[in-house]
């Protein structure tokens, strides 16, 4: 697992030990960023269920200004911190050990809005529709903001969720990628 492109291109990232997380493969990561970028001039991201932090680190490497990383697993929390330090991205990152819903409550209190949200929850405990509803109801995206959902390929998410519109859906073997954009009038 490595950073595919940008300022940190080629740097190897540590994986979370054990079998509780499954890192996004380099091939899928490259496809994801070709769909939503591939590079950015600004923006704030949220990497929820961050695992090793691979998606958020890739986004920072490609130009996002800041990413908030959240994972409840203590091993993942430690690996994210190590990967961010290895890539020299500490000043552009915040890392929290928390579950998704508690983290979102804290974010709401801070009134943060995001340009990109990366969601890669455990496949066996899919919560994507619930989370998408929270993001739209609580207005957590900037205009034209993007939410990327990584999920099992057999999961079929709705075409629209409030003001979110599905703009892309791809399958890569057992992995499904669905991308939503906040449509503002």
**Per-residue pLDDT band at 20 (split at 50, 70, 90):** low
pLDDT above 80 for 33: yes
Residue with tokens 């991205």: 89
Q: What angle do CA 17, 26, 83 make, to 5 degrees?
A: 45
Say how far apart CA 74 and CA 185 lie, in whole Å.
Answer: 42
Taking residues 154-165, report their average pLDDT: 92
**Per-residue pLDDT band at 9 (split at 50, 70, 90):** very high
Residue pLDDT, tens place only, 58-93 = 999 999 999 999 999 999 999 999 999 999 999 999
pLDDT above 80 for 125: no
Which domains can be identified in the chain, with CATH numbers?
Answer: 26-182 (3.40.50.150)
- pTM for the full model? 0.94
Tokens representing residue 1 in the block: 């697992």
């Amino acid at each position: 697992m490595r950073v595919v492109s940008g300022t940190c291109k080629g740097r190897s990232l540590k994986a979370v030990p054990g079998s509780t997380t499954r890192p996004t493969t380099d091939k899928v990561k490259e496809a994801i960023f070709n769909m939503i970028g591939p590079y950015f001039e600004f923006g704030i991201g949220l990497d929820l269920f961050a695992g090793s932090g691979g998606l958020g680190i890739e986004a920072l490497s490609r130009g996002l200004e800041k990413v908030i990383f959240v994972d409840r697993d203590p091993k993942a929390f430690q690996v994210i911190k190590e990967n961010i330090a290895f890539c020299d991205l500490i000043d552009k990152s915040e890392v929290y050990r928390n579950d998704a819903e508690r983290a979102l409550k804290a974010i709401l209190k801070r009134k943060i809005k995001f340009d990109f949200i990366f969601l890669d929850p455990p496949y066996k405990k899919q919560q994507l529709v619930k989370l998408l509803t929270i993001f739209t109801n609580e207005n957590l995206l900037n205009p034209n903001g993007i939410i990327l959902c990584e999920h099992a390929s057999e999961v079929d998410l709705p075409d629209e969720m409030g003001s979110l519109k599905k703009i892309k859906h791809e399958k890569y073997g057992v992995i499904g990628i669905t991308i939503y954009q906040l449509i503002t009038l």
